[in-house]
């Protein structure tokens, strides 16, 4: 397992390229996000998605897709003009918007509802990493262990959860206090607040 230091808001180009190379080889990366540490793989790497599933120990395969910007959103999600306008008001930022998945989304990461979470982070490192990869990333919040109810992973220097050996590269930003994104489901012209987190949700209530 490789470990490389990173400055999330002022990343070095070589650092971004190193992590992108690991992801391009089908690896799983542990990276600092805008709300917490994330486990990340490239959306086009089926074997990496399968490995992420083993790390998360999930029977259900619902993950978020993280984009650099809005240019590829319509490729991976079925989005109406009104939904797009809503998403554009709140992203980049600490929100996950649930939309209907398009046929471009790998079936291995879908539940029966055929939905995906959409994220655009307000963090230069992540956005530069996505650009270097040339495609969106599939991400999931890193927990302190295999149980989804356990605490967040916050510090690569002091935590060794049982799944850590399955990670191929750690982008080490030191201790990062963890928060949840706010999750909003957009279905037709309706909003549903699935989870209130870091992003204010008053406008969706």
Say which CATH number the domain at 154 has. 3.90.870.10
Please give the helix or strand (H or E) that residue 84 lies within, else none: helix 81-90
- Please tell me the distance from the alpha carbon of residue 150 to that of residue 152, in angstroms, as a whole number: 7
Query: Mean of the per-residue pLDDT values for the chain?
Result: 89
Total domains in the fold of the chain: 1
Residue with tokens 């080889």: 25
Contact in structure between 56 and 127 (CB atoms under 8 Å):
no
Assess if residue 205 is contained within a domain.
no
CB contact at 8 A, 163 and 1: no
Give the pair of three-digit tokens for residue 44.
């086009």
pTM, to two decimals: 0.91
pLDDT digits (tens, 9 = 90+) for 179-199: 989 999 998 888 999 999 999
Owning domain of residue 61: 2-200
Q: What is the pLDDT of residue 118?
A: 95
Residue 63 placed within a domain? yes
Percentage of residues in the chain having pLDDT higher than 70: 93
């Amino acid at each position: 397992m490789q470990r490389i230091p990173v400055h999330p808001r002022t990343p070095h180009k070589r650092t971004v390229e190193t992590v992108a190379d690991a992801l391009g080889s089908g690896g799983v990366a542990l990276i600092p996000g805008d709300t917490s540490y994330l486990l990340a793989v490239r959306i086009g790497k089926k074997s990496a998605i399968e490995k992420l599933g083993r790390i998360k120990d999930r029977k259900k395969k619902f993950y978020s897709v993280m984009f650099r910007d809005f240019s590829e959103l319509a490729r991976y999600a079925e989005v109406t003009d009104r939904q797009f306008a809503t998403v554009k008001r709140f992203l980049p930022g600490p929100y996950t918007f649930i939309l209907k998945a398009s046929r471009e989304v790998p079936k291995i990461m879908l539940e029966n509802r055929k939905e995906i979470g959409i994220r655009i982070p307000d963090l230069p490192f992540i956005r530069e990493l996505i650009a270097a990869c040339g495609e969106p990333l599939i991400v999931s919040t890193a927990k302190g262990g295999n149980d989804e109810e356990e605490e967040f992973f916050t510090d690569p220097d002091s935590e060794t959860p049982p799944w850590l050996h399955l990670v191929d590269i750690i982008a080490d930003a030191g201790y990062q206090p963890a928060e949840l994104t706010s999750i909003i489901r957009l279905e037709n012209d309706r909003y549903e607040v699935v989870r209130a987190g870091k992003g204010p949700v008053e406008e969706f209530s």
